[in-house]
Each structure stands twice: as C-alpha cells, then as structure tokens.
C-alpha cells in the first residue's frame, strides 16, 4: 500500500498556515484566493487547529456570527488529527472517514510538512489503479 510520502511527492508540500488571531473573514478570503477548503492554524510553529469550510458553515453562518469580528481561535477545530509521511493510504482513508475529516495534516518528525484532502487520496488511488491496469494490459498483450 502506498504512503502519504508518495502522495506529497506528486502533490507537493505546500502548506497554507494562518495565526489563530486571524479573523474568519481573512481566512475565507485566503481560502477562496488559494482555492483550498481548509487552512492550518499555527502558533509559534506549532499546529494548534484547522479551519475548514465546514467550520465556517456550522460555527459562523448557521449561528449568525460575524466573520469580520470572530477570530480563528474561537472557531477552529482542535485538537488536530494528524498523520505521518510513512502512514499508508488505507489507514488515512479510514481515519478521515471515521472522523468525517476532509483534510489531514501530515507531520515529519513532529514538524508540519504537508496536508492532504480526501480528494488527493482518491486521485492518487485512481492513478495507482490506472497504472496497474496498464501494466496488466501490457502483460496480457505480450508487451511486457
């Protein structure tokens, strides 16, 4: 089974972080600009929370809170479930599904090094299956 290290080698290790003092409005503006569904909340180089579209909907919009006055520290999801570079995809899919998380921060020796979404996992698994199918087709056709 493939590991998160393999996904991040393809996807890259770009991580968008924000401080907990940022307003929700600043965060959703950044999410829209970067076309991402979640931001990692970091303080003193330590991951302390995640803020996602789901957090916005449930904790701001549905409660009629002001996104310009509310800080991320008030509404971020915390504590954060994380995975490591060497965790396999099956474990991560199970972790994300069981906890209903769409985003999973990745740590390397305790340091933040990436984030994957459930979409990244599905995309990689489809890539893997296509490569396997191509290999089997070549074998059957005698092109091995």
Element (H, E) at 112: strand 111-117
The three state secondary structure string of 12-50 is CCCCCEECCCCEHHHHHHHHHHHCCCEEEEEECCEEEEE
Distances (CA, A) of 110 to 32, 40, 46, 106: 29, 15, 9, 9
Provide the pLDDT for residue 139. Answer: 87
Domains in the chain: ranges and CATH: 4-140 (3.10.580.10)
Which of 44, 75, 43 has its CA nearest to residue 62?
75
Q: What is the pTM of this model?
A: 0.88
pLDDT tens track for 82-138: 999 999 999 999 999 999 999 999 999 999 999 999 999 989 989 888 988 888 888
pLDDT tens track for 46-87: 999 999 999 999 999 999 999 999 999 999 999 999 999 999
Whether the bond between 79 and the residue before it is cis, its omega within 30 degrees of 0, is yes
Cα separation, 139 vs 144, whole angstroms:
5
């Amino acid at each position: 089974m493939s590991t998160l290290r393999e996904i991040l080698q393809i996807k890259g290790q770009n991580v968008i972080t924000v401080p907990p003092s940022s307003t929700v409005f600043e965060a959703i503006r950044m999410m829209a600009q970067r076309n991402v569904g979640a931001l990692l909340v970091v303080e003193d180089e330590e991951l302390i929370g995640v803020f996602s579209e789901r957090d916005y909907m449930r904790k701001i919009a549905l409660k009629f809170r002001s996104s310009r006055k509310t800080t991320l520290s008030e509404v971020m999801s915390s504590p954060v479930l994380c995975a490591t570079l060497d965790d396999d995809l099956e474990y991560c899919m199970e972790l994300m599904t069981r906890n209903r998380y769409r985003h999973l921060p990745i740590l390397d020796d305790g340091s933040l090094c990436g984030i994957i979404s459930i979409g990244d996992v599905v995309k990689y698994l489809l890539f893997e299956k296509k490569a396997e199918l191509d290999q089997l087709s070549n074998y059957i056709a005698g092109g091995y």
